[in-house]
Amino acid sequence: MSTRDQNPDSQRDALTAAGCDRIFIDKASGKIDRRAELDKALDYLRPGDIFVITRLSRAARSLRHLLDLAAQLREREVDLLVLKQGIDTSTPSGRLQFHMFGAFDEFLRELIVEGTLEGLASARACGRVGGRPRPWTLTAWRWPARCTR
């Protein structure tokens, strides 16, 4: 699940519509390599099964982890089907698409992290800090300084 959409109903609906007989939903971030429900799903798979996910970013955020997952599935003779991106690793073009989209997903994630860090550094340079605001008191409150950068 993403932080933007904490409700997994749309993902569950898509997996049900795809004919999945068992659905595993992880609440952990995709950037974490070890997740309990992903591990359970992988343990559940048998040769000839199809591992279905809604999008690549649901399984992992790094290309290395995606490649490890693909190798593990291939060793176990399990194909991967990614619904939103139309990837099916049972075909050569699907495997190519898997690798390309995995690289793009990692690239986009790195751009988001880089932009976030730049924004935080800029805010700190202007005297703003993150975190929960302090409670206001009449003696401690003052107008925040404006940054002219």
Catalytic residue among 2, 29, 93, 122: 2
What does the pLDDT look like over 18-73, one tens digit per residue?
A: 998 899 887 765 555 567 888 898 899 999 999 999 888 777 767 788 888 888 99
pTM: 0.65
Domains of the chain, residue spans: 9-125
Considering the domain delimited by 9-125, tell me its CATH architecture.
3-Layer(aba) Sandwich (3.40)
Least confident residue range of 44-48, 109-113, 128-132 = 128-132
Long-range contacts, 106-110 (Cβ 8 Å, 24+):
106/61, 106/62, 106/63, 106/66, 109/31, 109/57, 109/61, 109/62
Report residue 2's pLDDT band, with 50, 70 and 90 as the boundaries: very low
2 is catalytic: yes
